[in-house]
Amino acid sequence: MKANLARKGRGAVISPDGRFDAWQREAAEDGWWIEEEEAPATELIVDSAKTVITYNNSPDIPYDRSINPYRGCEHGCAYCFARPSHAYLGLSPGLDFETRIAYKADAAQTLRRELAKPGYVCRPVALGINTDAWQPVERRLRVTRGILEVLAETRHAVTIVTKSALILRDLDLLAEMARGDLVHVAVSITTLDADLARAMEPRAPSPQRRLSVIAALAQAGIPTAVMVAPLIPALTDHELENILAAAREAGATSAGYILLRLPHEVKPLFRAWLESHRPGCAEHVYSLMRQLHGGKEYDSAYGSRQRGSGPLAEIIAQRFRNAVRRLGLDAPYLALDVAAFRPPPAATPQMPLF
């Protein structure tokens, strides 16, 4: 196993073992054999589950339920906070997270059964929050498309965060739902630097392409926000105002931001990426992260995990508030219509009489 090895089209440069594994490996180079590795192929794994809706009661998250069609993400973002979730599958949060993708093949049918339950109460569901629901494999698997069709049929409110241009494939459904106040989309942009984005988010659309996605969604009448996420101190934080301005020009009407998060294995993974792609920058980034989290490089406490705390966090927050006010990006999010929900008919073996 090689250390700090950048692979073509992939974000992780190390592949640490999962924290739940009974054993741990250490990378070593003894000079005995070195060869150029090909870009690792993507392997698909069927993820069978009795439910697709996941519920939470986190006080700093503006939704109480979400649907994640995929586990793992081909976008390969080096900073992705969801990487540690692959450890629950017995897989590495490093390269495995990008190349071994679990998908819920029967997600649409399972969702239909859940929504048909007599006690179900409709509230906006967040789609693709842990990993992107429109990542590259969705082009042929169409799992997210099936979920969206069920939500549109039942007039169920949905909020979406994505960085993928593939969402425009489903513009027909989204535009129809928008006319009924049933959908809100946020497009995440980390940087406007195309070279940095290509290295840090190797299989995600370019920054300019994401701006064009905002424009297309807005033109279709879909309430669209820009999410500056993650905001990385000493690497991308200086771009905050420029990203917001570019998104406003494209058609975004609201905005948000989230600081870099370094839970569990993400901490060594992102440091290794920095040392490989931005030599000399790693310690500066992690020093500022410690300033943002009371001396720790990451604090998982509700309220501070996404924005940090202390003087530096307040400076960033003030910059954001000033920019969105100046640009007119401070419009409140549209209240989605949960009263329009119509549950699907319960599955029954009996055929209708008429």
Tens of pLDDT along 196-253? 999 999 999 999 999 999 999 999 999 999 999 999 999 999 999 999 999 999 999 9
C-alpha distances in Å from residue 46, one per residue of 50, 60, 101, 106 = 13, 32, 9, 9
pLDDT at position 110 over 60: yes
Domain count, the chain: 1
| Best CA proximity match to 43, nearest among 8, 105, 84, 95 | 95
pLDDT at position 44 over 60: yes
Residue 60 counted as domain residue? yes
Q: How far is residue 204's CA from residue 167's CA, in Å, rounded to a whole number?
A: 13
Residue 271 counted as domain residue? no
Going by DSSP bridges, is the β-strand pair 70-71/100-103 parallel, antiparallel, or unpaired?
Answer: antiparallel
* pTM, to two decimals: 0.88
Query: From the centroid of its chain, how far is CA 342?
Result: 28
pLDDT-derived band at 81 (thresholds 50, 70, 90) equals very high
Phi, psi (deg, nearest 5) at residue 265: -70, -15
Residue 27 counted as domain residue? no
For residue 39, the model assigns a pLDDT of: 66
101, 43 in Cβ contact below 8 A?
Answer: yes
Residue 109 belongs to what domain range? 43-262
Which residues are CB-neighbours of 134 under 8 A, at least 6 positions away?
128, 144, 162, 164, 166, 167, 169
Of all residues in the chain, what percent carry a pLDDT higher than 90?
74
CATH number for the domain that contains residue 251: 3.20.20.70
Q: How far is residue 124's CA from residue 106's CA, in Å, rounded to a whole number?
A: 21
Residue 258 counted as domain residue? yes
Residue 248 counted as domain residue? yes
Mean pLDDT calculated for residue range 12-25? 55
**Cis before residue 311, ω within 30 degrees of 0?**
no
Tokens of 330: 């401070």
pLDDT at position 33 over 80: no
Dihedral of CA atoms 90, 96, 233, 236 in degrees, nearest 10, equals -150
pLDDT at position 47 over 60: yes
Residue 130 counted as domain residue? yes
DSSP 181: T
Q: Please provide the average confidence, as pLDDT, over all residues in the chain.
A: 89
Tens of pLDDT along 191-200? 999 999 999 9
Which residues are CB-neighbours of 22 under 8 A, at least 6 positions away?
none
Tokens of 229: 């996420």
pLDDT-derived band at 173 (thresholds 50, 70, 90) equals very high
Phi, psi (deg, nearest 5) at residue 189: -130, 125
For residue 311, the model assigns a pLDDT of: 96
pLDDT at position 22 over 90: no
Residue 293 counted as domain residue? no
138, 103 in Cβ contact below 8 A?
Answer: no
Indicate the SS3 state at residue 326.
helix
Residue 309 counted as domain residue? no
